[in-house]
Amino acid sequence: ALAYAQAHPQRVIGMVLFAVTSTSREEVTWTTETVGAIFPEAWDRLAGFAREHAPGYAAGSLRLVEAYAQLLNSDDLSLRDAASQQWALWEDTHISLGSEQVIRDPRWQDQRLRHSLTRLTTHFWAHDGFCDPPLLENMAGIAHLPAVLIHGRSDISGPVRTAWRLHQALPNSELVICENDGHGGQSMVEHWNSANSKMLDLAS
């Protein structure tokens, strides 16, 4: 959404952003590596698979996300499937903070969807979202736009810092921090619906 607004500001009347991220190198490193300090057993499993199957990662020439991007493009379909399973489990793990157990997303049971989502995610993340310059360094052209930024305080996967930085770069923005939500939640959805209605009023 931010990349589109920056490319086509004349087509945008405002933005409503939910669980705010910008695919920066810092954010990708956090989600794929740093947050492993909170989920060490799950991260060791994720990284261990890469060390075993991606020589570049074992040698230190690839970041973890780059290793998985490589594995998920492998000609070996069984390896690709196993890598997609590992990545999907990691995603479910780090968004399950506060739950008694990891909540598995039933969509992963669809192999075609799992392969597509994990491959796209790692491809874009390995290239920092193909955003050059990074999105948060390219805000001058859209600083005039109204925006509502909705984020959960307990979102360990994408800390609220990015939403705060974006709020500072957008003078006409409103930052809504839902104290009891994580990477989504009922309060966030309610604010999302309300913000969309207000933004539609601007368009009419």
Claim: this prediction has a pTM higher than 0.75? yes
Rounded to whole angstroms, how far apart are CA atoms 77 and 100?
33
How does the average pLDDT of the chain come out, rounded? Answer: 95
- pLDDT tens across 3-30, in order? 999 999 999 999 999 999 999 999 999 9
Looking at residue 118, its pLDDT comes to 98
> Would you kindly state where each structural domain of the chain is located, as residue ranges?
2-22+134-203, 26-130
Judge contact between 171 and 165, C-beta under 8 A. no
Looking at residue 82, its pLDDT comes to 98
Looking at residue 29, its pLDDT comes to 97
Looking at residue 116, its pLDDT comes to 97
Phi, psi (5° rounding) for residue 90? -65, -45
Judge contact between 12 and 145, C-beta under 8 A. yes
Phi, psi (5° rounding) for residue 175? -100, 120
Q: Which amino acid is at 120?
A: L
The topology (CATH level 3) of 2-22+134-203 is: Rossmann fold (3.40.50)
In the chain, what percentage of residues exceed pLDDT 90?
91
Looking at residue 164, its pLDDT comes to 98
Token pair for residue 99? 């739950």
Looking at residue 122, its pLDDT comes to 98
DSSP 21: -
Count of other CB atoms within 10 angstroms of residue 4: 12
Looking at residue 100, its pLDDT comes to 77
N-term to C-term CA, the chain: 21
Looking at residue 117, its pLDDT comes to 98
Looking at residue 99, its pLDDT comes to 76
Spans in the chain with pLDDT lower than 70: none
Looking at residue 80, its pLDDT comes to 98
Looking at residue 96, its pLDDT comes to 86
